[in-house]
Structure 1
């Protein structure tokens, strides 16, 4: 099947590509219980050498910048404790870590989690972190603009490959909370 966005052919249901996904992403796809059918979560194969947003859209098409989202892991500190969360924002924007994220999490300080920490805690590859399959106890802060997109391209858990799904599906993920002003 042809992907609903981008020049990707074939696009396959992620449930049929479990070997291409990291363990936490595959488990989340298999265990999906949202209102939208799991078959709406598609997998497309992409070049791992150009997984980062700028290189990706330069290669696959600039229009994807407005149809994709980035998932970043943040570390929130309060009272000597550190907790983690993920933020999902349109790729054309950036996360308002010091404003919206800090206020929403009630933290004294929020920063991007170090790469090694993000990789270890998610079980995913850096440059491919996705909101699908994040640790169950983490908040997932979602910019409403992502949930409003007809389809969204995000990481697959690995640098190779991407997931495409309706924007509304991301608001149904475990721990998901829509946060106005999340993206600058």
Structure 2
């Protein structure tokens, strides 16, 4: 068993739409190797999840929604970094998005725009016009655990499939 699999029982994600947020279930065909496992929703936050299910932090990737502003224009993007790292939001990400100000999107906004639960947001199934910025360390990690769009499950997927999502770009984004 890999450190990404932990002590969970993984099943093909496409066969379990009940364990995925609606936009994730609709888009999961784009990540054919994705597998899903139910978890205790109270343990969805990364540190608690990794400890409870024996998943290495280096095999868990967090997806955050950022909002960048230039003039009156607001640009949203998803950023995927390993749980063991911090996203360089005010440096590399701000420069890549070519915005003057950037911050994490407010929780209500992120939930509303993605159709996913806070704490379960994932790069699979995001709005098609959003850039998905994937840190190069995520791709190097091989199989990674990500959110499923809900707090009650997680998805295990080869990071190369995340890097191949239509609007994904692989960059150096972590500190």
State the TM bucket, normalised to the shorter chain: over 0.9
2:76 counterpart SS class? strand
1:174 counterpart SS class? coil
Q: How does 1:125-164 map to 2 (within 5 A)?
A: 125-164=117-156
State how far apart, in whole Å, the 1-side matches of 2:83 and 2:158 are: 16
2:150 counterpart SS class? coil
Aligned residues: 174
Q: How does 1:7-156 map to 2 (within 5 A)?
A: 7-9=7-9, 11-30=10-29, 32=30, 38=32, 40-61=33-54, 63-156=55-148
Bigger relative contact order (CA 8 A; separation at least 6): 2
2:174 matches 1:183:
yes
The TM-score normalised by the length of structure 1 is 0.90
Q: Once the 2 structures are TM-superposed, how far is the Cα of residue 58 of structure 1 from its aligned partner?
A: 2.1
State how far apart, in whole Å, the 2-side matches of 1:43 and 1:69 are: 15
1:104 counterpart SS class? helix
The TM-score normalised by the length of structure 2 is 0.95
State how far apart, in whole Å, the 1-side matches of 2:121 and 2:166 are: 16
1:168 to 141, 160, 163: 160
1:59 counterpart SS class? helix
State how far apart, in whole Å, the 1-side matches of 2:87 and 2:78 are: 10
State how far apart, in whole Å, the 2-side matches of 1:90 and 1:58 are: 15
1:141 counterpart SS class? strand
Which digits, 9 at most, give the CA deviation of each residue in 1:96-139, with x for residues without a partner? 11001000000001100000000000000000000110100000
What's the Cα RMSD here? 1.5
